[in-house]
Amino acid sequence: MSITFRSSVIRTLLADVRARAPQEACGLLGAAGGDVCLVLPLTNALASPDRFRLDPREQFDSARLLRARGLDLVAIYHSHPHTDAVPSLEDRELARGVPHLQMIVSLVDPEPRLRLFEPEYRGERPLVVV
Ligand SMILES: [Zn+2]
């Protein structure tokens, strides 16, 4: 399935990760038919500048909210406030067995860098903004 991002979604996502820097931000992206239309920021349960863990309770509630709205959970995002948008070893561990796309937003440069990856970081997808 092709995935497209509304520019308003990208703006919301960037606002979230910038507001939470220098800690890593994380959350979920919901889509309707491949059109990513909802950003759901979740608490980073580790409250760390270089690691993240989706708050399990919020993750559960968010999955229910997405279902109630008829949206698909397509991607998990998190930020790298201090490093490039390259998955860490721990990121790869966390993504094991997770069927969703992964997005990393790097804030290391003045211009944020967003990269979208296949599940388990098995390759990269172009970021299509409409
Ligand atoms: Zn990471």
pLDDT tens digit at each of 130 positions of the chain: 789 999 999 999 999 999 999 999 999 999 999 999 999 999 999 999 999 999 999 999 999 999 999 999 999 999 999 999 999 999 999 999 999 999 999 999 999 999 999 999 999 999 999 9
Whole-model pTM: value is 0.96
Residues in a beta bridge with 128: 4
Cα–ligand 1 centroid distance for 86 (angstroms)? 7
Host domain of residue 31: 4-129
The secondary structure element, H or E, covering residue 113 is strand 113-117
pLDDT given at position 1: 74
Whole-number Å distance, alpha carbon 81 to ligand 1 midpoint, is: 9
Structure tokens given for 117: 């990856």
| Distance from residue 33's CA to the centre of ligand 1 (Å) | 27
Q: How many whole angstroms from 104 Cα to the centroid of ligand 1?
A: 7
At residue 33, the pLDDT reads: 93
**Alpha carbon of 38 to ligand 1 centroid (Å):** 21
CATH number at residue 70: 3.40.140.10
**Ligand 1 geometric centre to CA of 72 (Å):** 23
- How far apart are the CA of 80 and the centre of ligand 1, in A? 6
C-alpha 19/C-alpha 28 separation (Å) is 16
Q: Kindly give the distance from the C-alpha atom of residue 87 to the centroid of ligand 1, in angstroms, as a whole number.
A: 5
CA gap 7, 115 in Å, rounded: 15
Instruction: Please report how many Cα atoms fall inside a 13 Å half-sphere around the Cα of residue 40, on the Cβ side.
Output: 23
| Overall domain count for the chain | 1
